[in-house]
Structure 1
Amino acid sequence: MDIAPLRTSVSGAVLAAEDQGWDAARASHAGTGRPDVIVRVSNLDDVSEAVRFAAASRRPAVVRGGGHSAWSTLDDGVLIDLSALDSVEVVGDPEGGALVRIGGGARWGDVAQVLSEHGVGISSGDTASVGVGGLTLGGGIGWMVRAWGLAADQLVGAQLVTAEGEVVEVTEASHPELLWALRGGGGNFGVVTRFDFRAHDLAAVVWAELGVSGDARPILAALRDVLATAPRELTASYMDVPAMDPSAPAGATISACWAGDDEGALRAALAPLLDLDGVSEREIGVRAYPDILLDAPMPDPDQPLPGFIGGNTLVRKLDDDLIDRFASFRESTPASVIFFRSLGGAFGDVEQDATPFPARDATWFAMAGAFDIPGLVDDAERGRLEGAWAAIEERGQGVYGNFSTTTDPDFAHRMYPATTMARLAAVKATWDPRNLFARNHNVIPA
């Protein structure tokens, strides 16, 4: 593949395997990829040139924002690195909420910091290094999901480079069906170089960290009951992890975020939990929103992460039977993790067909999985774990693609109902009929 024309037409860096800095450029939070060429764009024109080059050379266009997507670790393709397009601009306060324009390469930690200085916020992911682009295009479950909904629910416009290399401004007035698809349909429709969000007033948050010990079942049931009637300002999670990752201390914890600075309101909401045996208060206090986002260190390329046996699901009702299945999964395998995040509130206010995101009547997002460690997990154990997870997933109403590391090209059919997939396929046929943007949970053009 002759990349000389690309080097001439692009003002940013164009890197091939023989170039200095190649290994560093192809590393990401998801691992180390092996693309044909990396284009570190510096402006909008660079993105158009890179897309046109990918189309002309019949190579897939691979888009990197934050670098947490496993799709960018696959071989081949033109990797378009958006990291330089990281601007954050608060442009006004129309219609009761600040309009914020964010570059497609920005990461949530930097965005939250800038917005905090303006006294506003957007429902983002939990991790500072996660990209705005990937999280939003996949929906975006974060700490304000019950207060404000998904990140995608706050998206009011976008700037997008099409599969033809053309630039379009996407709004409800100009391209309503494309905007609908961008609110949870993934990176199937072009390269989003700017996201326009409606932000919310947010001076601070109240953050709580509770320690958990003993049987998870009564504590998860109590957490479920608390969130069933809690004000929507409260979003909470439960996580139980093994002693494997220094960034996530071993054991079970409940974390809670209150959208606002009313510590008394959060304490009142959590009081039934704090009264339980096995639950202890570690921290409750007012914090700046950026300070609650996690840091995720880059993985060591010489020590690849183990496989993961399990998955995630969106749950309409977290009943006692389902709680028992999750707790039993965790208890049966020391090297396993379970995780729950409360939904409802503003998340459930959105009509099902208003966005592609599935299961708007879900009240919990839940995940379970075991680490597939060579030498510790044999075929029989692997089969048992797969069966245990399948029994859990069949109780759910959908799958959240952003929490999946699979690169199975058919996985998108597990994420979206048939009617949603058909509508996405029609949008795909309009904007990317040759499926140039296939390195994602892919929607095949109708």
Structure 2
Amino acid sequence: MSIDDLNVSTAVIRPGDSDWESARRFHSGIGEPAAIIRAMSVDDVRGALRYAAAERLEVMIRGGGHSAWGGVPGGLTLDISALDDIAVDGTRVRVGGGAQWGAVAHTLAAHGLGLSSGDTASVGVGGLTLGGGIGWMVRAWGLASDQLVGAELVTANGEVVEVSDTSHPELMWALRGGGGNFGVVTRFDFEAHHLPGVVVGVYGIEGDAGPTLRVLRDVLAAAPRELTVTYMDVPPMDPSAPAGASITAVWAGDDETAARAALAALAAAPGVSEREFGPQDYPDVLMEAPEFDPEHPMPGFVGGNTLLPALDDDAIERLVAFRTQNPASVVLLRSLGGAFGDVAQDATPFPARDATWFAMAGAFDVPGMLDDDARAAAVQAWADIEAKGSGVYGNFIASADPSVAARMYPPATMARLAAVKRQWDPGNIFCRNHNVQP
């Protein structure tokens, strides 16, 4: 079967074509696939997958393009970013598989609605949702995938199926956190929430962060679920945030009085200063991430993430120590619980519904900054922190290591996902992801 025989409405781009260099660039890097198809319709997706199946080509699906999998050589890159329509009907929202969260947030805001999405405007709806999706509304509404009520999916053999809790319910279960293992989702159906706006507070931290984190932990243990917070401590070299330790709090709603009351103990803690407080439109909370710069690639990252059942004093001390012992490092905490914890563990593939905090830490592996001893120490320090968790979050693992999936899913969940995989993708064409083996 020739790729030129496909019934597609867009060009197939190969190495050497005039637009190859631009087509193979994605948000997080530069790809080296065998070919790229920019799908303009569901029929384009069907044709591309029939070709990939016939030629035994692995498929990498590109939406927002933040995934590390775009850099794995070979295979067929299926770019669905043009499938970005967004339609609102009451609180039901239909979103094209190639849409980005910034566009979704702006569209919903015009209707007084919101969805729990990621933190970055240019992140794709597809990748984030299929991996679970921890965002600013995770305590209010749960994961992005918890709001998913249906989908249109193109299977490995080019069949288009409608998926819901009543139509292919086991496949629907797998889509709520099982990743892009089962087909190309060309449309996501979400149930949105009324959202007149948000209240945002930003607080600086001076001195030892340990006491402040203990206050923050205690505040969130009793806080209304409308409140979600993030703690970050970053070095001057990190372009994604101002240097130093800070806390950002987002309240789902426009009640400034309630938000301030929930944060009062934090605001009064020693060493904490209020930098910003007030109402915002939710789309303005989503940040813009810089695109890949080949002249200044991101350094290596020694660390990882974990889902913590409890942010106990030992975890706090270890996270603070990691940042102190590695000057070029980042530590991040995101509060969980609330609606996230309301979902039964076996209701979705997403791990660790008992987690109350998401933690991430990593040392930047910059030449001349980490020698072998320092690198080994950072690896061990992170391993000690991860051991306190009950799962890892795949969307925050920028690695194409095939062993990652086994760390993400408990054995019973993996076995159930594998059964779904055997039904819908027995040839494992969709393996450019945190892969579930059929």
Answer yes or no: same fold by TM over 0.5.
yes
Instruction: Name structure 2 gaps, 5 residues minimum.
Output: none
Equivalent in 352, 359, 362 of residue 366 of structure 1: 359
Q: How far does residue 21 in structure 1 lie from its aligned partner after superposition?
A: 2.0
Aligned to 1:387: 380
CA shift digits 1:86-118 (9 cap, x unpaired) = 0110023xxxxx110000000000100000001
Partner of 1:258 in structure 2? 251
Q: Pick from 291, 305, 308: which aligns with 1:315?
A: 308
Residue number in structure 1 paired with 2:5: 5
Q: How does 1:277-426 map to 2 (within 5 A)?
A: 277-426=270-419
Partners of 1:279 and 1:295 lie apart in 2 by: 26
Aligned mate of 1:18, from 6, 16, 19: 16
CA distance in structure 1 between the aligned counterparts of 2:42 and 2:198, rounded to whole angstroms? 35
Question: Which whole-Å CA distance do the structure 2 matches of 1:13 and 1:288 have between them?
Answer: 39
Pairing of 1:46-65 with structure 2 (within 5 A): 46-65=44-63
Q: Out of 259, 262, 272, which is 1:269 matched to?
A: 262
What 5-or-longer segments of structure 1 have no aligned partner?
93-97
Letter in 2 for 1:398: G
Deviation at 1:278, TM superposition (A): 1.2
Residue identity matched to 1:19: D
- Matched AA of 1:50: A
Instruction: Give, in whole Å, the separation in 1 of the partners of 2:261 and 2:282.
Output: 21
Partner of 1:196: 189
The residue aligned with 2:101 is: 108
Number of the residue aligned with 2:146: 153
Counterpart amino acid of residue 5 in structure 1: D
CA displacement at 1:248 relative to structure 2: 1.4
Match of 2:71 in 1: 73
Match of 1:227 among 202, 214, 220: 220
The alpha carbon displacement at 1:47 in A equals 0.4
Q: Which runs of 4+ in 1 moved over 6 A?
A: none
Q: Distance in 2 between matches of 1:362 and 1:123?
A: 18
Q: How does 1:407-446 map to 2 (within 5 A)?
A: 407-445=400-438
**CA shift at 1:302, angstroms?**
2.5
| Cα shift at 1:82 | 0.8
Match of 2:241 in 1: 248
For 2:15 and 2:296, the matched residues in 1 are separated by 22
What is the identity, as a one-letter code, of the residue corresponding to 2:232?
A: M
Letter of the structure 2 residue corresponding to residue 369 of structure 1: G
Q: Name the SS of the counterpart of 2:322 in structure 1.
A: helix
CA distance in 2, matches of 1:247, 1:234: 23
Partner SS for 1:210: strand
SS in structure 1 at match of 2:37: strand
Q: Percent identity?
A: 66
- Over aligned residues, Cα RMSD in angstroms? 1.0
> By how many angstroms is 1:301 displaced?
1.6
Given the alignment, which residue of 88, 91, 104 partners 2:89? 91
Residue 329 of structure 1 aligns to which amino acid in structure 2? F
For the residues of structure 1 that align with 2:309 and 2:411, how far apart are their CA atoms? 19
Cα deviation, residue 2, structure 1: 5.2
Question: How far 1:151 moved relative to its partner?
Answer: 0.4
Equivalences, count: 438
Match of 1:162 among 130, 155, 169: 155
SS at match of 1:370: strand
Tell me whether 1:129 sits opposite 2:122 in the alignment.
Answer: yes
Rounded to whole Å, the distance in 2 between the matches of 1:310 and 1:325 is 13
Q: Deviations over 1:298-350 (max 9, x none)?
A: 12122221110000000001000110000000000110000000000000000
1:5 Cα deviation from its structure 2 partner = 2.4
TM-score (norm 1): 0.97
For residues 312 and 244 of structure 1, what CA distance do their matches in structure 2 show? 20
Report the Cα distance in structure 2 between the residues aligned to 1:12 and 1:184, rounded to whole angstroms: 31
Amino acid at match of 2:16: E
Alpha-carbon distance in 1 for matches of 2:306, 2:126: 22
Q: Deviations over 1:380-417 (max 9, x none)?
A: 21111101101111110000000000111111010011
Aligned-residue offset at 1:245:
2.8
**TM-score in terms of structure 2 length:** 0.99
Please report how far the alpha carbon of residue 238 of structure 1 lies from its aligned counterpart in structure 2 after TM superposition: 0.1
Q: 2: CA distance between counterparts of 1:104 and 1:136? A: 10
Question: 1:219 & 1:26 partners in 2: Cα distance?
Answer: 45
1:95: which partner in 2? Answer: none
Q: Which moved more, 1:237-246 or 1:122-131?
A: 237-246
